[in-house]
């Protein structure tokens, strides 16, 4: 789904928190300047606000030197945040609040986008985000891919684990879509809720009180606040961003620290989203996340097989016009009473690990 901003009614500001990104800020800004499907004029219909905080490497000066070559209006805010605010979450909170004030000064319906200074958005990032909002979403979460050069430098063991986690994550997301469908967020979708690619209307931003005051995980906390407030989040697979795969990051507890931990402790458990497949069957709602432990790396092959098995039963049920709730009840009965009789077409049996997943209807 690709949109166009030729006659866009939205006022748009992209908020980017920045700390010591002299090596990457130019690539970040030039990627935003290369947006397509936005009309034929040189000037793009959005602004970018850099919130440069606690930096001492010349990031702000490099950004300012590029301003005339960029196809959008660039605003640079510099600040020295106090220790209690000098975190990834604190910087994003300040950046998005400053961007929200800019939108309010402009008037009209406002849309806030945010990404990271070590990320590069593809040419359709803004247009695809707008298309998802125009389709009825209040917020749009994009998906992430590691910078290919950074990824190539990572240890083979980490990349192998990442591939397994990615396969299981997609299956978990598909299971949730079958068992707890959200009309505004249909399959295909993804589970990522990251500040590297997130957007929301100014109205929803103000309604939930802005970015929650958290040092880390402010992006997921914002998504939870939106869900609690009844706002619709679209996890749009066509909205993508390329982000850094460096092992020395700027945010304590961030992605770089997570990757380093998995190199140092290969048996560390997966992200909390990756709970066991049968737990998802028992408690499929998004609000149930966190009620069971995440799986460990050694469990991933078995969990992939279990998730595929459940999905096959759900799809077989749909093919014979049996409701998902009925199939789920039968599966739960089979799990607690293995001798229970199931319709032969719904029998749980091992699957070929290479079997393809099929989207829910």
In a domain, 359, yes or no: no
The pLDDT of 281-289, averaged and rounded, is 83
**Pairing between β-strand 47-53 and β-strand 119-120 as defined by DSSP bridges:** unpaired
- What is the per-residue pLDDT for 4? 47
Among the residue ranges 163-167, 255-259, 316-320, the one predicted with the least confidence is: 255-259
Question: Do 135 and 281 belong together in one domain?
Answer: no
**How far is Cα 296 from Cα 298, in angstroms, rounded to an integer?**
6
Question: Do 63 and 21 belong together in one domain?
Answer: yes
In a domain, 264, yes or no: no
Decide if pLDDT at 352 tops 90: no
φ, ψ at 201 (rounded to 5°): -70, 150
Q: In the chain, what percentage of residues exceed pLDDT 90?
A: 72
In a domain, 171, yes or no: no
- What is the per-residue pLDDT for 292? 84
- What is the per-residue pLDDT for 249? 63
Question: Do 281 and 235 belong together in one domain?
Answer: no
**How far is Cα 19 from Cα 250, in angstroms, rounded to an integer?**
7
Question: Do 240 and 287 belong together in one domain?
Answer: no
Question: Do 221 and 117 belong together in one domain?
Answer: yes
**How far is Cα 238 from Cα 246, in angstroms, rounded to an integer?**
24
**How far is Cα 59 from Cα 77, in angstroms, rounded to an integer?**
12
Final residue of a structural domain among 196, 228, 244: 244
CATH number, domain with residue 117: 3.90.550.10
Question: Do 239 and 288 belong together in one domain?
Answer: no
- H-type helices in the chain, by residue range? 25-33, 59-66, 88-106, 125-134, 148-152, 156-179, 202-207, 218-228, 255-264, 277-282, 300-319, 324-336
Print the domain residue range for 317. 277-346
Average pLDDT in the chain: 88
- Total domains in the fold of the chain: 2
Question: Do 290 and 192 belong together in one domain?
Answer: no
- What is the per-residue pLDDT for 260? 76
Decide if pLDDT at 338 tops 70: no
Question: Do 87 and 220 belong together in one domain?
Answer: yes
Its pTM stands at: 0.88
Given the structure tokens 């490099």, which residue do they identify? Answer: 62
Q: Which band of pLDDT confidence, cut at 50, 70 and 90, is reported for residue 337?
A: low
Final residue of a structural domain among 229, 244, 259: 244
Decide if pLDDT at 73 tops 80: yes
Q: Count the neighbouring beta carbons within 10 Å of the beta carbon of residue 50.
A: 26
Decide if pLDDT at 317 tops 60: yes
Final residue of a structural domain among 222, 244, 266: 244
Q: Count the neighbouring beta carbons within 10 Å of the beta carbon of residue 7.
A: 7
């Amino acid at each position: 789904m690709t949109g166009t901003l030729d006659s866009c009614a939205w006022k748009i500001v992209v908020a980017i928190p920045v700390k010591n990104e002299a090596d990457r800020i130019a690539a970040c800004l030039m990627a935003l300047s290369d947006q397509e499907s936005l009309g034929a004029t040189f000037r793009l219909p959005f602004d970018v606000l850099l919130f440069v905080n606690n930096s001492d490497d010349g990031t702000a000066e490099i950004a300012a030197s590029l301003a005339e070559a960029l196809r959008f209006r660039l605003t640079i805010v510099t600040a020295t945040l106090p220790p209690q605010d000098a975190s990834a979450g604190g910087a994003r909170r300040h950046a998005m609040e400053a961007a929200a004030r800019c939108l309010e000064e402009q008037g009209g319906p406002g849309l806030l986008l945010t990404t990271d200074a070590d990320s590069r958005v593809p040419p359709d990032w803004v247009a695809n985000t707008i298309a998802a909002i125009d389709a009825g979403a209040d917020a749009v979460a994009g998906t992430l891919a590691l910078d290919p050069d950074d990824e190539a430098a990572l240890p083979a063991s980490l990349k192998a684990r990442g591939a397994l986690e990615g396969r299981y994550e997609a299956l978990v997301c598909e299971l949730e879509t079958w068992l707890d469908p959200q009309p505004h967020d249909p399959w295909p979708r993804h589970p990522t809720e990251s500040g590297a690619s997130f957007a929301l209307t100014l109205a929803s931003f103000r309604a939930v009180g802005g970015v929650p005051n958290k040092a880390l995980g402010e992006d997921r906390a914002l998504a939870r606040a939106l869900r609690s407030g009844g706002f619709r989040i679209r996890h749009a697979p066509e909205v993508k961003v390329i982000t850094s795969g460096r092992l020395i990051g700027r945010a304590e507890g961030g992605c770089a620290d997570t990757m380093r931990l998995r190199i140092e402790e290969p048996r560390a458990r997966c992200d909390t989203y990756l709970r066991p497949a049968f737990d998802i069957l028992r408690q499929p709602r998004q609000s149930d996340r966190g009620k069971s432990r995440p799986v460990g790396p050694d469990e991933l092959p078995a969990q992939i097989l279990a998730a595929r098995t459940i999905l096959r039963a759900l799809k077989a049920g749909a093919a014979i016009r049996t409701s998902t709730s009925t199939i789920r009840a039968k599966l739960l009965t089979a799990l607690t009473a293995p001798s229970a009789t199931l319709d032969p077409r719904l029998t749980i049996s091992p699957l070929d690990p290479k079997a393809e997943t099929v989207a829910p209807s």
